[in-house]
Amino acid sequence: MSGSPPEHERFARDALRRYGRPADSTLRLLGLPENTTFLAGEHEDPLVLRIHRPGYHSLPAIRSELAWMTALRAQTPVATPAVVPALDGSEVVVVQVGDTARNVAAMTFIPGDTAERNPDEVGFDQLGRITAVMHHHSRTWTPPAGFTRFRWDLDSTLGRDARWGDWRRGPGLTDIDRDWIQRAADDITERLTRYGTGPANFGLVHGDLRLANLMVDPAVRGGPITVIDFDDCGWSWYLADLGAAVSFIEDTPTGERIIADWLRGYREVTTVSDEELLLIPCFVMLRRIMLTAWVASHPDADSALGAGANFAPNTARLAQRYLCDLNWLQNCIFGSHV
């Protein structure tokens, strides 16, 4: 169980009994450091166990996440894991180890690998279509009673008490860097305040549709994309999902290609107004600032380590480009607007 704190394994093994599985089933660590995810019974009837970190979601919020994921699976073509109920029918079980309780959910195992490891297997026009279907479902779905998820609004993304932390603490930032990012944040705040949070613009979104949360099977060329990890789903601007699609690669040619492909696919399903097209750099920059805060608050996470020591200072360079280069992203945005 390399890399997994011993107490995480104890939670997983206690939870296995609640799902009718032997407590000594094989366990393989799939993910840290947020929620801890294990694959149980890898070679026969596999099950994914997710041990939720404390303090991020309430039990009703976790149930709400699973409710939307289940509704998407049942009511749309979007592929998601299936929720596996415990023996007593519970979608979430509370596991007690000593004096500590943790919420645990189980889902079916999706074979293959993440798009992060196999980006060439992903058609980002397909991801755009999938996202548009999810957004349409969000606009028309009636959530069950008690449904609750948090908001990704301006305060919770850019404020000093933002959900992922304070971007001002980004490692390596100088005062000049912070000034550039603050100016970009002020511009984003002004533009999104004007855009508003009406039902046409703002609703239930996945919130983290980046490569690491898309499963593909390299053995099936052009096969389906399975959307996983709805842990950050909540209420936000629909176009925030496009910003998430280019997480950590916002300032690269690959990021621009993804934006163009995503938009082409998205617009096959639904319309995007000229006003919204002009706001896309705003959402890309917003996501980059959020990730700068996340890297600062999760310095030991694999994604933070992989981002490199210059990620935060490069956010300042991107903020400068966002503010000063009127042509930034225009070719990939309006090249797809045909």
Among the listed residues 14, 37, 4, the one whose alpha carbon sits nearest the alpha carbon of residue 86:
14
**Dihedral over Cα of 322, 327, 328, 330: its sign:** positive
**Residue 2 pLDDT exceeds 50:** no
Q: Which of 95-99, 106-110, 172-176, 268-272 has the lowest mean pLDDT?
A: 95-99
Give the mean pLDDT of 322-337: 90
Higher pLDDT, 49 or 118: 49
Question: How far apart are the C-alpha atoms of 140 and 238, rounded to whole Å?
Answer: 14
Q: What is the pLDDT of residue 333?
A: 96
Characterize the bridge pairing of strands 202-205 and 100-108: unpaired
**Residue 242 pLDDT exceeds 70:** yes
On whether the CB atoms of residues 284 and 259 are closer than 8 A, the answer is yes
What is the C-alpha radius of gyration for the chain, rounded to an integer number of angstroms?
20
**Residue 33 pLDDT exceeds 80:** no
- Other beta carbons within 10 angstroms of residue 264's beta carbon come to 17
Q: What is the pLDDT of residue 304?
A: 67
Among the listed residues 192, 193, 225, the one whose alpha carbon sits nearest the alpha carbon of residue 209:
225
Q: What is the pLDDT of residues 52-81, one digit of tens each?
A: 999 999 999 999 999 999 999 999 999 999
Which tokens sit at 42? 């890898």
Percent of the chain topping pLDDT 70: 96
> For the chain, what percentages of helix, strand and coil (3-state, to nearest 5) are there?
45, 15, 40
Q: Is 106 helix (H, G, I), strand (E, B) or coil?
A: strand
Domains of the chain: 6-109 (3.30.200.20), 114-334 (3.90.1200.10)
Which tokens sit at 71? 């509704």
Give the mean pLDDT of 210-225: 82
From start to end of the chain, where are the E strands? 27-31, 36-40, 47-51, 92-97, 100-108, 113-114, 202-205, 214-216, 226-227, 234-237
Rounded to an integer, what is the distance from CA 306 to the centroid of its chain? 17
Per DSSP, 91 falls in state: S
On whether the CB atoms of residues 281 and 329 are closer than 8 A, the answer is yes
Q: Which of 38-42, 150-154, 319-323, 325-329 has the lowest mean pLDDT?
A: 38-42
**Dihedral over Cα of 66, 292, 322, 188: its sign:** positive
DSSP 212-233: GGEEE-TTSTT-PPEE---TT-
**Residue 220 pLDDT exceeds 50:** yes
